[in-house]
Amino acid sequence: MIQTPYLLFLGDAPDQLAAKVAQGIKDWRPENAVGQLRLPGCGADMGLTDMNLQEGLAAGAKTLVIGVANRGGVISDEWKKVLVAALEAGYDLAAGLHNLLRDEDELQAAAKIHGRTLHDVRVPSVAYPIANGQKRSGKRVLAVGTDCSCGKMYTAMSMDAEMRERGLKSTFRATGQTGILITGRGVPLDAVIADFMAGAVEALTPDNDEDHWDHIEGQGSLFHVSYSGVTMALIHGGQPDALILAHEPTRTHMRGLPHYGLPSLEQLRDTAFPLARVANPACQVAGVSVNTKALGEEDARKCLEEIEARMGIPATDPFRFGAGALVDALIAL
Amino acid sequence: MIQTPYLLFLGDAPDQLAAKVAQGIKDWRPENAVGQLRLPGCGADMGLTDMNLQEGLAAGAKTLVIGVANRGGVISDEWKKVLVAALEAGYDLAAGLHNLLRDEDELQAAAKIHGRTLHDVRVPSVAYPIANGQKRSGKRVLAVGTDCSCGKMYTAMSMDAEMRERGLKSTFRATGQTGILITGRGVPLDAVIADFMAGAVEALTPDNDEDHWDHIEGQGSLFHVSYSGVTMALIHGGQPDALILAHEPTRTHMRGLPHYGLPSLEQLRDTAFPLARVANPACQVAGVSVNTKALGEEDARKCLEEIEARMGIPATDPFRFGAGALVDALIAL
């Protein structure tokens, strides 16, 4: 649906975390990203070649993907200059921002004049039903986090990649704009109308072969007051057979909420597990996925050992050390 | 803001249950209803004076409120005749139907010609922010249920009425179409975009006097897989100081989900309480509101005694026996 490859627009992202859309594409479909385009003051770097629009075109880019997910998603005048220039130069645009590309008159007009397409992947393209809670065939796993942005999507991506490498039946199910931009399909769950959230997750993960695993992309956190309702809908709509607890061990407060401390992994387990059992009484907590990016190798391994001993279930950093331990745990259920 | 008082349109409602919006207005803001307008074959009766449009105007009505659910999701030609005539006569229209007044060309045109307003209270009329989780001044109470439709709105309405009768500072905060039509304002939470649910609840219950109570209308249930995300957003966006557990003791399965049993009041308490403490560490479970409509007087009193003894907190049916015990419990916190 979205033409590849991409030039990744990082804009004036304050830090690396703010550019998690670009990071996801770089990490999971690097062949789709020819380079990065950054504005003055940009604090993010994907380690790709910095390119202007012409250089991107010369490298084969077809679509300029906005790789920055700001809180509230505002399209500034500075951004707009670049985006209009991109349409003029022959790029399609793709974004997952709350403020839609199509709602910007200048972009709409430029796209029309130059025959280009605006992809707003955050907007649901179909009407979802209200969840019916009926048991579906096949297996599902969902990562739930102590916080937002702590590695839930990477966990699902890693487990899916590992399963497919082993020749197992497996699908990554995107629920956010990054996942949708990477895989080309999914449900933009945070943009779905409240009443239909759980139904959208049911529709995303339909009946399947009994030995097929859906890796549902997690969102938010039951402990993040801004987004906990979305997480709840994933737990009940996804009716997971397995939960993976996701955690970033160096974080000192909930993302964007400096006055909120993080829950412990035990609190997360004891909160998410009974809620998951409402929709699927057979659900198990299968493992812990720890984002150890901020730790050195030795500290990371120590941290994982400590968590594994404490929690009594496999703990790993699937992005750093592979998802083998988590996949083994799923298969053993 | 919907202009009051109202003439209540009952249409051709097959029975009393189909007119639950009108019933709510009649029960909680009788001063807002000058009369009722019924079509031939109407099986509902609010016990108000039957009026035609002219009589309603003469009695002071400003808005014709559709107090009944329509059949088949269609606004029938019979209804439309009356609604257009109402706009011509000088009424605004207000409805909480799934199919919107504004989507009917005839109504849209008549409203424009006659300078009247169409209120579709099911649709959010403003853009809500993402929740910031900041502590707000004033007190808030939220009813959480073992199931949907078990008396949460009536609980909040009753407590609000009791507090105002005692001369205390108190506001009912509507989160559903019935509540919005009754009070003329509120947030249609089930129609809000997922990311903004908690923020909408924050906006609905802003800073207030320290001795002021917001009675937030509950929605759904943490144990109802179709709507639990909405409930979660109320708990975290509302940051209640007090939870009231709401329960219908004769129900055998979750509403609309015949394959799901009800949780116990203990399960509800043990699930909702820690989640509420994330947003407000001072939150307490203050009492139990039991919908005893299906029980005789003696059985109802026995049921309440048993629950009160078991749970160790006041239990009453506020609609049947008054909200005094619950309000006492709130004040004692």
Dump pLDDT digits (tens) for B69-92. Answer: 877 668 999 999 999 999 999 999
ipTM: 0.92
Q: Rounded mean pLDDT of B265-278? A: 98
The pLDDT of residue B192: 97
Nearest Cα of chain B lies from the Cα of A315 at a distance, in angstroms, of: 25
Q: Is the dihedral of CA A202, A207, A208, A211 positive or negative?
A: positive
Helix (H, G, I), strand (E, B) or coil at A163: helix
For A188, name the nearest residue in chain B, comparing CA atoms only: B194
pTM of the predicted protein model:
0.90
Q: Kindly report each contact of residues B111-115 with a partner whose C-beta sits within 8 Å and lies 24 or more positions away, as own/partner.
A: B111/B87, B114/B87, B114/B88, B114/B90
Contacts of B190 in chain A (CB under 8 A): 193-195
Nearest Cα of chain B lies from the Cα of A100 at a distance, in angstroms, of: 14
The pLDDT of residue B82: 97
Cβ–Cβ contact A66 with B under 8 A: no
The pLDDT of residue A309: 98
For B200, name the nearest residue in chain A, comparing CA atoms only: A226
Mean pLDDT of chain B: 96
What are the tens digits of pLDDT across the range A185-236? 899 999 999 999 999 999 999 999 999 999 999 999 999 999 999 999 999 9
The pLDDT of residue A17: 87
Is residue A140 over pLDDT 60? yes
State the alpha helices, DSSP H only, in A9-151: 20-28, 53-58, 77-89, 105-114
Q: How long a stretch of residues is chain B?
A: 333
Contacts of B239 in chain A (CB under 8 A): 225
Which of B230, B231, B279 has the CB atom closest to A225's CB atom? B279
Q: Hey, what are A57's tokens?
A: 């075109």
Is residue A72 over pLDDT 60? no
Is residue A125 over pLDDT 90? no
Number of H helices, E strands in chain A: 12, 11
The secondary structure element, H or E, covering residue A227 is none
Q: Do B233 and A233 touch (CB under 8 A)?
A: no
The pLDDT of residue A71: 54
Supply φ then ψ for residue A127, to 5 degrees.
-90, 125
Nearest Cα of chain A lies from the Cα of B222 at a distance, in angstroms, of: 8
Which of B133, B227, B231 has the CB atom closest to A257's CB atom? B133
Is residue A73 over pLDDT 70? no
Which strands make up the sheet holding B284-290, listed edge to edge?
B169-173, B212-216, B139-145, B242-247, B284-290, B315-316
Q: Do A232 and B236 touch (CB under 8 A)?
A: no
CA dihedral of residues B80, B83, B87, B90 (deg, nearest 10): 160
Which stretch of A183-187, A256-260, B255-259 has the lowest confidence by average pLDDT? A183-187
Cβ–Cβ contact A128 with B under 8 A: no
Cα(A132)–Cα(A161) distance, rounded to whole angstroms? 30
The amino acid that residue A135 corresponds to is K
Nearest Cα of chain B lies from the Cα of A54 at a distance, in angstroms, of: 36
Q: Do B231 and A232 touch (CB under 8 A)?
A: yes
Q: Rounded mean pLDDT of B19-29? A: 92
Cβ–Cβ contact B274 with A under 8 A: yes
Is residue A102 over pLDDT 90? yes
How far apart, in Å, are the Cα atoms of A197 and each of A132, A194, A202, B136? 12, 6, 9, 28
DSSP A18: G
Mean pLDDT of chain A: 95
What are the tens digits of pLDDT across the range A289-302? 999 999 999 999 99
Q: Do A133 and B236 touch (CB under 8 A)?
A: no
Contacts of A229 in chain B (CB under 8 A): 194, 197-198, 229-233, 236
What are the tens digits of pLDDT across the range A180-192? 888 878 999 999 9
Cβ–Cβ contact A257 with B under 8 A: yes
Contacts of B41 (CB under 8 A, 6+ apart): B12
Q: Do B190 and A190 touch (CB under 8 A)?
A: no
A239: left (phi over 0), alpha (psi -120 to 50) or beta: left
Task: Write out residues 284-323 of A within 8 Å (CB-CB) of B.
Answer: none
- CB-CB contact of A128 with A192 (8 Å): yes
What are the tens digits of pLDDT across the range B165-191? 999 999 999 999 999 999 999 999 999
Q: Rounded mean pLDDT of A82-88? A: 98
Contacts of B274 in chain A (CB under 8 A): 267, 271
State the alpha helices, DSSP H only, in B166-205: 177-183, 197-204
Supply φ then ψ for residue A33, to 5 degrees.
-120, 110
Percent of chain B surpassing pLDDT 70: 99
